Chains A and B, each alone.
Chain A
């Protein structure tokens, strides 16, 4: 089936530095999402993105976070600067459209460890 790729599976970074998480969504998908899961807690919605713009973001999407998809390549989540509480697994997802008939396809996640 369709695959969303997230590489690498694990990133370790020092607090205060910048990190960019990369997501290769399903080709021809137009809607993109990031979710965050802190160890032992639920996966939570961060942001969704369409046509170069953020459609909706949650309160977890701090000012230090930004997303983009330059030139139709990777969909990225940038955190600058990172904080200890940003340590979590970040899941990317994509879909071809919006609505009940659409299915979100998820990547296997990038585990971010902030030291």
Chain B
């Protein structure tokens, strides 16, 4: 079946430093899957941060960006300069094209930004 791997369970970064959270995936469908980053801020529900449905494209939102790399089957999340308000749990996810919006999630990465 499909799978998503986030190698870091916890990441701590100082404010204004750069960030990268790794995500790789494996999908069973013939076509390329849709890729997502979701974020959960403390006390809130999961919300979509960005998504990319075309291989090779880059998605961006709130200063974060991720590029759909089909050769490496990766979708790493990056930000040039993090803020304390970015502290949250980040989830990489995929869905099959033409599927029932069924998401396969990674384990999540807890980001702590130190002021």
Q: Which residues of A contact B (CB under 8 A)?
A: 1, 3-4, 6, 31, 33, 35, 41-45, 48, 55-56, 91, 93, 95, 98-100, 102-109
Contacts and interface: CB of A to CB of B under 8 A. Distances in A.
Contacts of B43: 108
Contacts of A31: 101
Contact of A98 (B44, B48, B53, B101): B101
Contact of B45 (A33, A44, A56, A105): A105
Given A41-B107, A42-B106, A100-B53, A91 B46 contact: yes
Interface residues of B, number: 24
Contacts, number: 58
B112 to A, nearest CB: 18
Given A4-B45, A91-B46, A108-B44, A102 B108 contact: no
B97 interface: yes
A108 B45 contact: yes
Interface of B: 4, 34, 38, 43-48, 51, 53, 91, 95, 97-98, 100-108
Given A42-B105, A42-B106, A44-B105, A109 B45 contact: yes
Nearest to B4: A42
Contacts of A99: 98, 101
A100 B45 contact: no
A48 B107 contact: no
B101 A43 contact: no
Q: Which of A4, A42, A91, A98 has the most CB of B within 10 A?
A: A42
